[in-house]
Amino acid sequence: MSRPVPRDPAPGGTARWTSWSGVVAVGLGAVGLGVVGAQALVGAGDLPSALATAQGRTVGPALIAVVAVLVVAERLWPAVPRTLLARAHLVDAAYLALFAVVVVPLLTLVETGFAVETSRHAHFLIVGRLPVVPQVLVVAITLVGIDAMNWMAHVANHRSVALWTLHALHHSQEDMSVLTTFRTHPLVHATYLGALLPALILGASGAVPAAALIAYGCLVTLPHANLRWTLGPFGRLLVSPAYHRLHHARVPLGARGTVNYGFVLVCWDQLARCALFPEGTEPVATGIAGRPVPVEQSASGRGSVRVVLAQLGQPFRVRRSTDGPS
C-alpha cells in the first residue's frame, strides 16, 4: 500500500474521530498494563532491580558501543553525506535519551503487565517444558518468533489509521542515521507487545539468555544507519541499511508502495511478497511527502525541543494531517 498523500488537516469527521479514539485507546491500554505491571513488581519487591535490569539490557554498553561504531562508519562511508551535528541527528539523539531514561522504565512496567495478564487470562497459550528439544533450539525458535511478531506489528502500524498516526513520526526523518532507530513515539512500543509472546509461550523450556536479546537489539539498529551497505549475500537473509532505506522512501516505489518491513530477518517480506532488494542505485530520499509531521528540516523556526514536543503531541490532536494508513 502506498504512503498517505498529504491531506487537509481536517478530513472527514468520522474517520478523524475514529483515528483519534484509536490513539487514545492505545494510550489507555498501555497505562492499564503499566499499572498491573507496577503492582506485580512492587508486590514481589522487585521493582528497582527490574527497572535497572531492563535499562542495562536494553540501552547498556553493548548497544551504545554498536551505535558509536555505526556513527563512525557513517562518517567514513555515508550513503548521504551529513554533518555530524546536523539538526536531525541532534533531534534523534534526544529520542535516544528519552528512550533510555523514560521509555525503557515505563515499557518495563507495560511488558510486565502484559505478561501478567497473558498468564492470567490466556494461560492455555503457555507450553510446558519440552524435554526432548535442546534449549539452544528453543532459544533460536523464540528469537525467530520475536522477529516475526515484530514484522506483523510493523505491518499493522502501516495499515491501521490510528497506528499509522503514531508510527508516522518514525518515518518523518529526512536525514536518516543509526539514531533514527530511536525516533519513535513512546506509545508505538505498546503495539509491539506481541513480540513477548514467543518467550512467554516457550518460557518453561528455558529463558532466552540476556546476551541473545542484547544481540537482537543491536542488530535492530543497523538497518537505519546512513550507509550503502547491502551485506552482500547475507543481505538476502538479514535486513541491511540499503534494504531498509527503501522502506523509508519518501514517495512510493512504483506500484509496490511500501516495502521491506523486516526488523532483522528478510524472510517475512519475501513470504509476503513485499521484499525489494537494492540494485546499487543512488539512495532514495526519505521522509513523508508533504511533511504531515512537524520536522526539524522545515523552515518553521522551531527549536529542536519544540519540534520534539510538537511531534510527540500531534497524535493526540483531533485535527492533524497524518490520518490515513501507509
Residue 249 CB-density burial (10 A; 0-12 exposed, 13-18 middle, 19+ buried): buried
The three cell numbers of residue 262 are: 523486516
> Of 56-70, 131-145, 150-164, 288-302, where does mean pLDDT reach its minimum?
288-302
pLDDT range class, residue 255, cuts 50, 70, 90: confident
Q: DSSP of 158-170, one letter per residue?
A: HH-HHHHHHHHHH
Euclidean distance between CA atoms 109 and 34, whole angstroms: 5
pLDDT of residue 8: 33
Euclidean distance between CA atoms 305 and 17, whole angstroms: 28
φ and ψ at residue 249, rounded to 5 degrees: -55, 140
Euclidean distance between CA atoms 97 and 99, whole angstroms: 5
Three-state DSSP class for residue 238: strand
| Helix, strand, coil percentages in the chain from 3-state DSSP, rounded to 5 | 65, 0, 35
Euclidean distance between CA atoms 21 and 17, whole angstroms: 6
Nearest to 326 by CA among 264, 227, 259: 259
Cβ-contact 87, 300 below 8 angstroms: no
Euclidean distance between CA atoms 160 and 182, whole angstroms: 21
Q: Amino acid letter at 153?
A: A
- Give the distance from CA 272 to its chain's centroid: 19
Give the tens place of pLDDT for each residue, 111-123: 999 999 999 999 9
pLDDT range class, residue 307, cuts 50, 70, 90: very high
pLDDT of residue 32: 98
Euclidean distance between CA atoms 107 and 100, whole angstroms: 11
Cβ-contact 4, 164 below 8 angstroms: yes
Share of the chain above pLDDT 70, in %: 92
pLDDT range class, residue 7, cuts 50, 70, 90: very low
The three cell numbers of residue 129 are: 517444558
User: Which residues lie across from 227 on neighbouring strands?
Assistant: 78
Cβ-contact 30, 110 below 8 angstroms: yes
Determine the average pLDDT of the residues in 104-132.
Answer: 94
pLDDT of residue 4: 42
